[in-house]
């Protein structure tokens, strides 16, 4: 063996005392909390939609279902979707502005907008964000997310999601900050990365942010977000 082999052997030598076993119950509870933020929606909405459209809402409280399989639709107990061959499907009704990301895909530009949330189990949440496609005047929701703990407008970050490939398309990491954020950053591989920001016209205290997939390609590389005010003061820990 040369020295490098010795060094590698030393690196891999197990510790005197084994490390504590991870707390599986705690891991799963924490992981479920992260998943619960998600509302995966498929379907098409918009005035230009034609032909039969199946609108299926996936309510992601169903946790162990294979990812793209849509299941429940709150608050309706039924998920049955009526093929609407004669009447157009209900159009997406964004609250406030639709934020364009400038990212063009075959399905249209990726946009982010807010949509009402009305769930009895989430009394503090009146809205959530949706990432979707905009083609002409139609909007197609792809990934929706909202606050699941406490108030949706309490100071701080909310509903950060994305950074996933959904339907062969990378949906950027996005979310919103309730408070006077003028700059939002994260770090990827030690490099500071700036988020794109847009004030929400329905409530200027809410700032919608998103990271271009070129800079944050995957949620796995995301590190805790930091918000700053207009004077450069840090708003979050």
Partner 1 sequence: MARGDEEFADFVRASSARLTHAAFLLTGDRHQAEDAAQTAFTRTYAAWSRVRHKDAYGYARTVLMNHVIDGWRRPIREYATEVLPEQQDRLDVGKAVTQRAWLTAVLKTLTARERAVVVLRHFFDLPEADVARELGVSLGTVKSTNSRALAKLRVEADPEDTLIGGNGR
Name the residues that contact partner 1, by CB under 8 A.
Answer: 2-4, 6-16, 18-24, 26-28, 30-32, 34-35, 64-67, 164, 187-191, 219-224
Query: How far is it, in rounded angstroms, from Cα 195 to Cα 174?
Result: 9
The dihedral through the CA atoms of 226, 228, 234, 235 has a sign that is: negative
Least separation, in Å, of the C-beta of 47 and partner 1? 33
* Burial zone of 200 (CB within 10 Å; 0-12 exposed, 13-18 middle, 19+ buried): buried
Nearer to partner 1, 37 or 134 (CB): 37
Least separation, in Å, of the C-beta of 194 and partner 1? 16
Nearer to partner 1, 64 or 231 (CB): 64
Q: Interior CA angle at 112 toward 110 and 114, to 5°?
A: 150
Nearer to partner 1, 39 or 153 (CB): 39
Helix (H/G/I), strand (E/B), else coil: 3: helix
Nearer to partner 1, 75 or 224 (CB): 224
Least separation, in Å, of the C-beta of 233 and partner 1? 17
CB-CB contact of 104 with 212 (8 Å): no
Least separation, in Å, of the C-beta of 28 and partner 1? 6
């Amino acid at each position: 063996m040369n020295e490098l082999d010795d060094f590698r052997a030393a690196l891999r030598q197990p510790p005197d005392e084994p490390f504590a076993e991870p707390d599986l119950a705690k891991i799963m509870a924490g992981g479920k909390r992260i998943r619960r933020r998600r509302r995966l929606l498929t379907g098409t909405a918009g005035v230009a939609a034609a032909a039969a459209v199946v609108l299926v809402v996936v309510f992601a409280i169903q946790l162990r279902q294979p990812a793209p399989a849509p299941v429940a639709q709150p608050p309706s107990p039924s998920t049955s979707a009526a093929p609407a061959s004669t009447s157009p499907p209900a159009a997406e009704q964004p609250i406030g502005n639709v934020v364009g990301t400038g990212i063009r895909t075959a399905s249209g530009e990726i946009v982010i907008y807010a949509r009402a949330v009305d769930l009895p189990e989430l009394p503090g949440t009146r809205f959530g964000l949706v990432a979707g496609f905009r083609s002409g005047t139609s909007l197609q929701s792809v990934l929706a997310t909202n606050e699941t703990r406490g108030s949706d407008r309490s100071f701080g970050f909310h509903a950060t999601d994305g950074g996933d490939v959904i339907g062969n398309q990378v949906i950027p990491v996005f979310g919103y900050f309730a408070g006077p954020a003028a700059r939002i950053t994260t770090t990827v591989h030690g490099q500071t990365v700036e988020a794109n920001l847009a004030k929400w016209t329905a409530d200027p205290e809410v700032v919608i942010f998103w990271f271009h997939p070129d800079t944050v390609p995957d949620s796995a590389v995301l590190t805790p977000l930091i918000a700053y005010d207009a004077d450069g003061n840090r708003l979050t820990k």
